[in-house]
């Protein structure tokens, strides 16, 4: 298991190194003069030259990449191009904390709900329960996030007044207020994911329930509930874990639409702003973090695979 973990950590580091180079290269290929875009069309040549010297844009691309990578590893992520030139690290990590709260709340809804619905649908295959769960799963998956978010805002915020329509976050905010602010965005994100996880759980459980070991365990007199949850569900979780891992990566960087609908200050909305302003240090930092979360989620997924399946661990 230790060798397997070391090998996966080495793969993770190599993945981040390669993707960091790709991200740096692609962001620098974006059209337009960065200095001219930030300072405006009427900026003088002297101001443009000073801007490029200040942020190292006058150096060769490989030198810029080496300095940027070294700074990123040592927690010096550079300065933002926006007014005041705030530190990119504090700017991004402040938004990252908000996104992590939203992602965590979403997973607390998605994982138990989707597993319960998937198992229930598989145990009632062909029944009305199975049909309702399957149709509902397909329906919520097909709905765009902005449609779901607007409907939830209209019903629960504007008409019922239970939750705020827009999100304003403060560091000293009580826990109860945090949960009120996160409920509607988390529900919107949950509806976008739950359908996938539910259908994967259902399909995996149906496959496991038809295998001989389930029939053998039942004939031996083992309680049916134990057969389902201790044996069949354990094996059925393998493909489901992979879907959840991909969902974690999406939650940390793909909530752009949801964050904009609810005016939520996460890294998704900050990413859109960075692209619009061509704020390369912020754009690069967020892109690397998103890749890291995708890779880290897949690492956790592989480790859970190894724990649940001894054949993977032993190989």
Quote the pLDDT of residue 123: 85
Same domain for 148 and 38, yes or no, is no
Same domain for 309 and 162, yes or no, is yes
Residue at 69 is within a domain:
yes
Same domain for 63 and 135, yes or no, is no
How many domains, in total, are found in the chain?
2
Instruction: Please answer whether residues 298 and 250 qualify as being in contact, where contact means their C-beta atoms are separated by less than 8 angstroms.
Output: no
Q: What is the pLDDT of residues 210-250, one digit of tens each?
A: 888 878 877 777 887 888 887 788 778 878 887 888 788 77
Residue at 85 is within a domain:
no
Give the residue from 299, 207, 189 showing the smallest Cα distance to 247.
Answer: 189
Instruction: Please answer whether residues 149 and 188 qualify as being in contact, where contact means their C-beta atoms are separated by less than 8 angstroms.
Output: yes
Residue at 216 is within a domain:
yes
Which residues are paired to 79 by β-bridges? 87
d(CA 259, CA 271): 11
Residue numbers of the chain with a pLDDT score lower than 50: none
Instruction: Please answer whether residues 271 and 19 qualify as being in contact, where contact means their C-beta atoms are separated by less than 8 angstroms.
Output: no
Same domain for 130 and 39, yes or no, is no
d(CA 214, CA 220): 10
d(CA 37, CA 262): 29
CATH of the domain at 101: 1.10.3720.10
Same domain for 143 and 43, yes or no, is no
Instruction: Please answer whether residues 214 and 229 qualify as being in contact, where contact means their C-beta atoms are separated by less than 8 angstroms.
Output: no
C-alpha distance from residue 78 to each of 32, 57, 69, 141, 301 (Å): 21, 12, 10, 39, 32
Same domain for 154 and 292, yes or no, is yes
Residue at 294 is within a domain:
yes
Q: What is the pLDDT of residues 92-127, one digit of tens each?
A: 888 888 888 888 889 899 999 999 998 898 888 888
Same domain for 105 and 226, yes or no, is yes
User: What's the sign of the alpha-carbon dihedral 302, 303, 308, 312?
Assistant: positive
Same domain for 161 and 194, yes or no, is yes
Same domain for 241 and 114, yes or no, is yes
Residue at 81 is within a domain:
no
User: Which residue is listed with tokens 């490989």?
Assistant: 62
The parent domain of residue 38 ranges over 18-73
d(CA 107, CA 247): 9
Quote the pLDDT of residue 312: 58
Residue at 193 is within a domain:
yes
Same domain for 150 and 215, yes or no, is yes
Same domain for 300 and 178, yes or no, is yes
Quote the pLDDT of residue 125: 82
Q: In 74-127, which ranges are continuous DSSP H helix?
A: 88-123
The maximal CA–CA distance of the chain, rounded, in angstroms, is 85
User: Which residue is listed with tokens 């354990």?
Assistant: 234
Residue at 57 is within a domain:
yes
Give the residue from 281, 305, 301 showing the smallest Cα distance to 27.
Answer: 281
Instruction: Please answer whether residues 73 and 24 qualify as being in contact, where contact means their C-beta atoms are separated by less than 8 angstroms.
Output: no
Residue at 1 is within a domain:
no
Alpha carbon 274 to its chain centroid, in Å, reads: 18
d(CA 184, CA 181): 7
Same domain for 202 and 281, yes or no, is yes
Quote the pLDDT of residue 311: 61
Alpha carbon 284 to its chain centroid, in Å, reads: 17
| Contact partners, residue 243, CB within 8 Å, separation at least 6 | 196, 197, 200
């Amino acid at each position: 298991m230790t060798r397997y973990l070391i090998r996966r950590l080495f793969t993770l580091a190599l993945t981040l190194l390669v993707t960091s180079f790709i991200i740096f290269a692609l962001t620098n290929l974006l059209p337009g003069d960065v200095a001219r875009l930030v300072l405006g069309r009427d900026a003088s040549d002297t101001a443009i030259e000073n801007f490029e010297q200040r942020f190292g844009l006058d150096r060769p691309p490989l030198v810029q990449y080496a300095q940027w990578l070294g700074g990123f590893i040592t927690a010096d992520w550079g300065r933002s191009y926006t007014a005041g030139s705030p530190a990119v690290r504090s700017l991004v990590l402040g938004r990252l904390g908000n996104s992590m709260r939203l992602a965590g709340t979403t997973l607390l809804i998605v994982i138990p709900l989707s597993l319960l619905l998937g198992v229930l649908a598989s145990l009632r295959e062909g029944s009305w329960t199975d049909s309702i769960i399957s149709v509902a799963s397909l329906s919520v998956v097909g709905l765009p996030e902005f449609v779901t978010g607007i409907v939830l805002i209209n019903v629960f915020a504007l008409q019922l007044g239970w939750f705020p329509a827009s999100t304003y976050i403060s560091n000293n905010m009580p826990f109860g207020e945090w949960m009120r602010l996160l409920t509607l965005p988390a529900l919107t994100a949950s509806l976008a994911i739950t359908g996938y996880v539910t259908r994967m759980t259902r399909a995996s459980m149906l496959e496991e329930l038809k295998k001989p070991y389930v029939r053998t365990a039942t004939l031996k007199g083992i309680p049916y509930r134990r057969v389902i949850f201790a044996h069949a569900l354990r094996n059925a979780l393998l493909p489901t874990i992979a879907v959840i891992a991909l969902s974690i990566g999406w939650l940390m960087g793909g909530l752009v639409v949801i964050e904009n609908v609810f005016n939520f200050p996460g890294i998704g909305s900050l990413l859109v702003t960075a692209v619009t302003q061509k704020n390369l240090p912020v754009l690069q930092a967020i892109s690397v973090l998103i890749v890291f979360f995708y890779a880290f989620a897949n690492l956790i997924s592989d480790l859970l695979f190894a724990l649940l399946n001894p054949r993977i661990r032993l190989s």
